[in-house]
Amino acid sequence: MSYGAESSGAESMLAAMFSGRHTVCKDSEGSVFLDRDGKHFRHILNWLRGGVVPNLSDSECSELLWEAEYYQLLGLVDEITEVLNQRRDDEKMSTDLTRTDIIKFKCVRTDKVSLRGVNLSGLDLSKLSLSHVDFRYACLKNVFFSHAYLYGANFQNADLTNANLEGACLIQANLSGAKLTNANRKGANLQRAKLRGKKFCTTVDTLTQREPHSMLAAMFSGRHTVCKDSEVKRLDDKMRILGLGGGKKFCTTVDTLTQREPHSMLAAMFSGRHTVCKDSEGSVFLDRDGKHFRYILNWLRNGVVPNLLDLEFSELLLEAEYYQLLGLVDRMTEVLNNRRKDEEMDTDLTRADVIKYTCKPVKPLERFRLSGVNLSDLDLSKLNLSNVDFSHACLKNVFFSHANLYGAIFWNADLTNANLEGAYLDCACLEKANLKNADLTNANLEGAYLDCACLEKANLKGAKLTNASLKGANLQRAYLHETDLEGAKLDGANLDGAYR
């Protein structure tokens, strides 16, 4: 194997780990253990192998960015940021349609039809020709696709829970990341369809050549010493495999389980003071639902609180209370209490109302006006809301992730705790808007007006603020890591405590 590629990146994490200058511990089977969430590691490997950038949902993209930054994969971080900035061009139609609408739309359009992010739950689309249709991120619960022609259709990250796909033609369809819980696939043709894989096997060249300055390149460069047998035993003693309900298994270390929350049940279990029963494979079984346990581990590793919908958030809170993770419980309780306070006032419109309202044709230079309305907690993600007037609106906790908000007006609007991750806010007016604690990760704010806006504690990581106006804006304790401020006007802006 060649190790020349890592010579220029000896200072990076991955390059350092496998460069030969450090000792890399292996277990009894020769594996190197990395105490990270393995959910997205296949994307890490695919990037290192072929420079492939995955197309993920907002939350998963944020998780992958965390991992890429941890492994110091600077090229991947840059590519993901660029992809997110281009998603505006992919955001086509995000509205509820009938079977007749889809038939007409498919018949009229000769190019590739995009139904990305639409809600088609419960529709009967059986026997229709829907080849190459883009259903990415669509809600397709209980949809009847029986005997439909779906050749080459893209269902990436779509929700097909309880969908009927009996006898459907899904040749070369992309189902990676799709939720197929209880879906009926009897007799479906899935030849050459793309499905998710789980095992990871790669070479030293893959780990070291594309990102020679990364942690993985350092680990596997050959400049580190492999542990002796006595050290292997010490590593095995530190590692723990936890088995939970649903057949899920998680691998981590004793340090992770004990250091951040030293008074928790998990810390007590693995402190060495108690006898912990293991199965024949050395796994410790915990009789709990494993659905959210990766969030538990990510909290213990990084102190990260996930941004989930209320139902999932409540489920995670129950798990945190069971494991006696008092720090996580306090943080989550604070978030839930803030949400409940904001929910005291009923919203004026539903997501469906907003979709129907903004789909109506308008005359040139006219705007849809939603000024002063209360839309708190609504999920308006991925919708086309360009040029809508939200002046004075109450938009607390609204999910605008990846929405097209080009030229929208948010003058004096309340966007406290709003999720604007990956949103397209080019040329939008946010003057005097309250964006305290808002998530603007990777948002495109090029040319936006944020004069006198409150961005206190806002997360602007990776956001693009090229030529934006931030005169007199409050950016105290804002997170500005990798934020593009080229040409931005910051006259009189308060940047006390802002993190760069």
Q: Classify residue 167: in a domain, yes or no.
A: no
Residue 215 and residue 254 in one domain: no
Bin 209: left if φ > 0, else alpha if -120 < ψ < 50, else beta: alpha
pLDDT > 70: what percent of the chain? 82
Q: Classify residue 250: in a domain, yes or no.
A: yes
- CA dist., res. 405 & res. 400, Å (int): 9
Contact 91, 110 (CB under 8 A): no
pLDDT (tens digit per residue) in 426-467: 999 999 999 999 999 999 999 999 999 999 999 999 999 999
Which is nearest to 79 in space by CA: 499, 500, 482, 400?
482
Residue 281 and residue 210 in one domain: no
Number of domains, the chain:
2
Residue 247 and residue 335 in one domain: yes
Q: What is the amino acid identity at position 438?
A: A
Residue 217 and residue 278 in one domain: no
Contact 207, 216 (CB under 8 A): yes
The answer to whether residue 359 scores a pLDDT higher than 80 is no
The answer to whether residue 416 scores a pLDDT higher than 90 is yes
Residue 273 and residue 203 in one domain: no
pLDDT (tens digit per residue) in 178-226: 988 878 888 899 888 887 634 455 667 777 787 888 777 777 777 765 4
- CA dist., res. 463 & res. 483, Å (int): 5
Q: Classify residue 204: in a domain, yes or no.
A: yes
Which is nearest to 13 in space by CA: 36, 29, 30, 31?
36
pTM reported for the whole predicted model: 0.39
Q: Classify residue 273: in a domain, yes or no.
A: yes
Q: Band of the pLDDT at 229, cuts 50, 70, 90?
A: very low
Backbone angles phi, psi at 360, to 5 degrees: -70, 145
Q: Band of the pLDDT at 1, cuts 50, 70, 90?
A: very low
Q: What pLDDT score was predicted for residue 43?
A: 84
pLDDT (tens digit per residue) in 235-288: 445 555 566 655 677 888 888 888 899 999 888 888 888 887 877 777 788 888
Q: Report in angstroms the alpha-carbon separations of 138 from 110, 125, 134, 202, 342.
A: 21, 14, 9, 33, 28
Q: Which of 295, 323, 342 delimits the end of a domain? A: 342
Q: Please give the full DSSP string across 320-357, using - where no structure is assigned.
A: HHHTT-HHHHHHHHHHHHHHHHHTSSPPS--HHHHHHH
- Kindly tell me the burial class for residue 282, based on how many C-beta atoms sit within 10 Å of its own C-beta (0-12, 13-18, 19 or more): exposed
Q: For residue 480, what are the contacts with CB-CB under 8 A and spacing of at least 6?
A: 460, 461, 498, 499, 500
Residue 207 and residue 287 in one domain: no
Q: Classify residue 267: in a domain, yes or no.
A: yes
Residue 333 and residue 241 in one domain: yes
Q: Classify residue 278: in a domain, yes or no.
A: yes
- CA dist., res. 341 & res. 394, Å (int): 13
Q: Domain of 204: which CATH number?
A: 3.30.710.10
Residue 14 and residue 30 in one domain: yes
Q: Classify residue 369: in a domain, yes or no.
A: no
Residue 331 and residue 246 in one domain: yes
Range of the domain at 260: 234-342
Q: What pLDDT score was predicted for residue 364?
A: 62
Bin 178: left if φ > 0, else alpha if -120 < ψ < 50, else beta: beta
- CA dist., res. 453 & res. 473, Å (int): 5
Q: Classify residue 253: in a domain, yes or no.
A: yes
Residue 210 and residue 274 in one domain: no
Q: Which of 176, 210, 226 delimits the end of a domain? A: 226
Alpha helices, DSSP H, located in 51-158: 58-70, 74-86, 99-108
Q: If you average pLDDT over every residue of the chain, what do you get?
A: 80
Q: Band of the pLDDT at 403, cuts 50, 70, 90?
A: very high
- CA dist., res. 398 & res. 435, Å (int): 11
Q: Which of 209, 226, 243 delimits the end of a domain? A: 226
Q: Band of the pLDDT at 390, cuts 50, 70, 90?
A: very high
Residue 277 and residue 217 in one domain: no
Residue 216 and residue 307 in one domain: no
For the record, the structure tokens of 360 come out as 């109506």
- CA dist., res. 336 & res. 318, Å (int): 13
- CA dist., res. 366 & res. 379, Å (int): 25
